[in-house]
């Protein structure tokens, strides 16, 4: 029988303990990973629904109901962030933007900015909230630095591409009762109906010190968080960043240009239409003129 006081026994015993502990830790981590990923996805989906106003804060919903509401109302789309163009061939349902951002092969380093965003992904998610075939709003993942932590949330913008419909944060490490109030539904509600862009088309919405007026009278300001100036500034910076040229600005400009082209009258088409009425329905045209 080997001596329990020898070096070999001590080393062997320590190695066995390490192996056993490693197995005990790794087996649950591996076996629970699919469930953890599912829970993370469901939590993100629920926060997209909250930002869009389709789920009330604190509303208890089963996993099945969250998945059903998301599938019925939301269409995730992957876009090229720099051009705003859609990226066919990428499965939006399984695309992980945070993983893409952390991967140097799938993201780019960007210059210093007030939001303290270090990298942006080449490809990014946009959530289209639809009623039938009509897009009613767009929900964008947003992230940036607060005082102590990185803030992760979603910003919902109306189909008019101007009006904010909602803002949620689902992960952060800010001080409870101070910066942590970004999770407070009452504060998040203050964003609804505010205007994201000024007359010059640049992001203008900001969190101010003190109280802002109602959206109709003070459309570009949101109440500050008492005792949390740095977190408030961080929220302003990250929202303006992701609405700007380095974020979803190219996508929003693409949508604006499509809207301008759709609303622009076609002089040739209008003239042709007038001729057809005159040639083919002269009597009706004369009646209408009379």
Q: How confident is the model at residue 279 (pLDDT cuts 50, 70, 90)?
A: very low
- Kindly tell me if the per-residue pLDDT of 222 is higher than 70: yes
pLDDT tens readout for residues 70-119: 999 999 999 999 999 999 989 998 899 999 999 999 999 999 999 999 99
pTM over 0.85: no
How far is residue 203 CA from its own chain's centroid? 16
- Kindly tell me if the per-residue pLDDT of 58 is higher than 70: yes
Query: What mean pLDDT do residues 14-41 have?
Result: 62
What percentage of the chain exceeds 90 in pLDDT? 66
Please list the residues that pair with 167 across neighbouring strands. Answer: 155
Q: How confident is the model at residue 38 (pLDDT cuts 50, 70, 90)?
A: low
CA–CA dist 95, 108 (Å, integer): 17
CA–CA dist 80, 244 (Å, integer): 15
CA–CA dist 21, 106 (Å, integer): 35
**Contact (CB, 8 A) for 191 and 222:** yes
- Kindly tell me if the per-residue pLDDT of 268 is higher than 70: no
Pick from 143, 142, 155, 152: nearest CA to 172 = 152
pLDDT for 35: 55
pLDDT for 36: 54
3-state SS class at 229: helix
CA–CA dist 183, 170 (Å, integer): 7
Q: How confident is the model at residue 285 (pLDDT cuts 50, 70, 90)?
A: very low
Q: What sign does the dihedral 128-130-134-135 (CA atoms) show?
A: negative
pLDDT tens readout for residues 161-220: 999 999 999 999 999 999 999 999 999 999 999 999 999 999 999 999 999 999 999 999
Query: What mean pLDDT do residues 24-46 have?
Result: 64
Per-residue buried b or exposed e for 1-32, using 16+ beta carbons within 10 Å of the residue's own CB: eeeeeeeeeeeeeeeeeeeeeeeeeeeeeeee
Region of poorest pLDDT, from 29-38, 51-60, 103-112, 117-126: 29-38
* Sequence-ordered list of residues with C-beta below 8 angstroms from that of 83, at least 6 positions apart, any chain: 250, 254
Q: How confident is the model at residue 22 (pLDDT cuts 50, 70, 90)?
A: low
DSSP conformation class of 202? S
CA–CA dist 84, 254 (Å, integer): 7
DSSP string, 41-109: HHHHHHHHHHHTTSS-TT----HHHHHHHHHHHEEEEEEETTT--B-TTS-TTT--HHHHHH-TTSEEE
């Amino acid at each position: 029988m080997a001596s329990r006081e020898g070096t070999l026994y001590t080393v062997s015993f320590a190695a066995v303990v390490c192996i056993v502990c490693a197995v005990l830790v790794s087996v649950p981590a591996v076996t629970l990973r699919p469930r953890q990923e599912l829970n993370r996805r469901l939590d993100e989906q629920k926060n997209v629904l909250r930002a869009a106003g389709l789920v009330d804060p604190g509303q208890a919903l089963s996993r099945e109901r969250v998945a059903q509401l998301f599938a019925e109302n939301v269409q995730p789309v992957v876009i090229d962030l720099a051009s705003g163009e859609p990226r066919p061939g990428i499965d939006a349902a399984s695309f992980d933007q945070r993983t893409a951002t952390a991967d140097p092969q799938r993201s780019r380093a960007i210059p210093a900015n007030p939001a303290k965003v270090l990298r942006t992904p080449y490809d990014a998610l946009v959530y289209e909230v639809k009623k039938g075939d009509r897009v009613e709003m767009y929900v964008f993942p947003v992230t940036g630095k607060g005082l102590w932590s990185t803030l992760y949330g979603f910003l919902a913008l109306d189909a008019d591409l101007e009006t904010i419909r909602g803002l949620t944060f689902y992960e952060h490490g800010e001080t409870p009762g101070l910066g942590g109030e970004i999770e407070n539904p009452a504060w998040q509600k203050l964003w609804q109906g505010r205007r994201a862009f000024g007359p010059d088309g640049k992001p203008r919405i900001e969190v101010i010190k003190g109280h802002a007026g109602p959206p109709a009278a003070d459309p570009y300001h949101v109440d500050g968080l008492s005792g949390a100036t740095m977190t408030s500034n961080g929220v302003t910076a990250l929202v303006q960043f992701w609405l700007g040229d380095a974020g979803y600005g190219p996508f929003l400009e693409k949508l604006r240009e499509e809207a301008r082209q759709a609303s622009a009258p076609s002089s040739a088409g209008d003239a042709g239409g007038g001729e057809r009425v005159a040639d083919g329905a002269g009597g009706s045209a004369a009646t209408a003129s009379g």
